[in-house]
Amino acid sequence: MDTKLFFQALMKFLSGVVILGLLIFLPAGSFHYWQGWLMMGVLFVPMFVAGLILMVKNPELLRKRLNAREDEREQKAVVALSAVVFVVAFVVAGLNWRFQWLVLPVWVVWLAATFFLFGYILYAEVLRENTYLSRTVEVQENQKVIDTGLYGIVRHPMYMSTNILFLMMPLVLASPISFLVMLLYIPLIAKRIRNEEAVLEQGLKGYREYKQRVKYKVIPYIW
């Protein structure tokens, strides 16, 4: 096992736990916000397990995803705006619970948690299918077009899974107001996909033909 990579991943994981905990529980003003604990659980437990699996099975992919830095100006803006949407949605969720503005019923929370875990399963499958996955928009050395599995259904199954994950987060937190905020993530992802496909068409052999074979970007028969 790569000890340096292990501690790098562990520090990022722990910093994510602390930051998200602050975003959820500080606005809520209480640790009795059980939906917040549920969100922490369904997010970080599978993440920890997936990280351990990648550490053993594909450390290079884990390294790429940990060390991602966007070079393109347009993508930097998309990432920054996505981070703002993410932060605002979580802060509003905590405030929504604190002041009881509009709290979703328990059954909706648990249903959303189920869909969230389904999104995680899709995410894991995408990681399994595509070893070239990076958090940045780029064409890697020796990269090939992946057109099997989920990539035979939509061109960007990673964004399909992240859309499910992001849209379910506010519902797990019982905040329909935050859900409306998180909808802003969709046009940001659409912009990122347009730029990403332009880069792939220029630098990845066979990608134009792949676009002709697989018509849908994120959602079959819809988008």
Which of 79 and 99 is assigned the larger pLDDT? 99
- Region of 8 (left: φ > 0; alpha: ψ -120 to 50; beta: rest) is alpha
Q: Give me the chain's average pLDDT, please.
A: 87
Q: Does some domain include residue 77?
A: yes
Q: Does some domain include residue 223?
A: no
- C-beta of residue 94 within 8 angstroms of C-beta of residue 22: no
Range of the structural domain that residue 156 is part of: 3-213
Long-range Cβ contact pairs of 98-107 (< 8 A, separation 24 or more): 98/27, 98/28, 98/29, 98/30, 101/177, 102/175, 102/176, 102/177, 103/174, 103/175, 104/171, 104/174, 104/175, 104/176
Q: What pTM was computed for the model?
A: 0.88
Q: Does some domain include residue 13?
A: yes
pLDDT of residue 198: 85
Indicate whether 53 pLDDT > 70. Answer: yes
- CA–CA dist 163, 18 (Å, integer): 23
Mean pLDDT along residues 194-214: 85
Which of 54 and 191 is assigned the larger pLDDT? 191
pLDDT of residue 35: 98
pLDDT in tens, 147-201: 888 888 999 999 999 999 999 999 999 999 999 999 999 999 998 888 888 888 8
CATH number at residue 157: 1.20.120.1630
Q: Does some domain include residue 221?
A: no
pLDDT of residue 1: 60
Q: Does some domain include residue 27?
A: yes
pLDDT of residue 136: 45
pLDDT band of 5, cuts 50, 70, 90: confident
In the chain, how many domains are there? 1
